[in-house]
Amino acid sequence: MPVGFAPRSVAWMITQKMKYALKALLVLGDAAAGPAPEPLTIEAVAKRSATPKRFLEQILLELRNAGMVSSIRGRSGGYVLTRKPEEVPIAALLRLIDGPIAPLQCLSQGAYQRCEDCTDEAACRIRKVFAEVYWSYLILIESLTLADLLASDDVARRVTAD
């Protein structure tokens, strides 16, 4: 690795925290299916999602603050989805948990910054190429909702069967 360059994670790779958030939302989505949504304790969510409880507490707090889940106090309380699964956008969740999703800061919707070494953003070939890739990614990721993930069991089984 050249001097002065720090190792960096691969672009667009979700974090473990994001995976835990998705797993928790999938469990809550499953519990919400049916005539009466079932509130789940943090212990139940942790067990069903195979997520460590200590991480899940922080994640559920962030999801609650964002209005995606709510907590119900009391003996039969727990966590429930606040929105319908088709109203929980995966892109918003990614930004909430992992931060900006753009491969370059000059392409970010919510965290735009001009690149330090850029003299002409409009003529930057790196920006142009990554803008095209990012646009394709955005079209897909912005269309996904929790409902899509909840309906993906059959696809996941087929993909992981190999």
Question: Would you state the pLDDT for residue 53?
Answer: 93
Q: Look up the domain containing 70 and give its range.
A: 16-155
Specify if 162 maps to a domain: no
Question: Would you state the pLDDT for residue 107?
Answer: 85
Specify if 116 maps to a domain: yes
CATH code for the domain in which residue 45 is found: 1.10.10.10
Question: Would you state the pLDDT for residue 52?
Answer: 93
CA distance readout (Å), 135 to 18, 82, 101, 111, 126:
22, 30, 11, 16, 14
Specify if 112 maps to a domain: yes
User: For each successive 10 residues of the chain (162 residues), what is the average pLDDT?
Assistant: 44 84 94 83 94 93 95 87 93 91 83 85 88 87 92 58 46
Specify if 84 maps to a domain: yes
Question: Would you state the pLDDT for residue 154?
Answer: 54
d(CA 66, CA 130): 30
At a CB cut-off of 8 Å and minimum separation 6, what does 62 contact?
21, 96, 97
Question: Would you state the pLDDT for residue 86?
Answer: 94
Specify if 111 maps to a domain: yes
Please give the tally of structural domains in the chain. 1
Specify if 3 maps to a domain: no
Specify if 132 maps to a domain: yes
Specify if 151 maps to a domain: yes
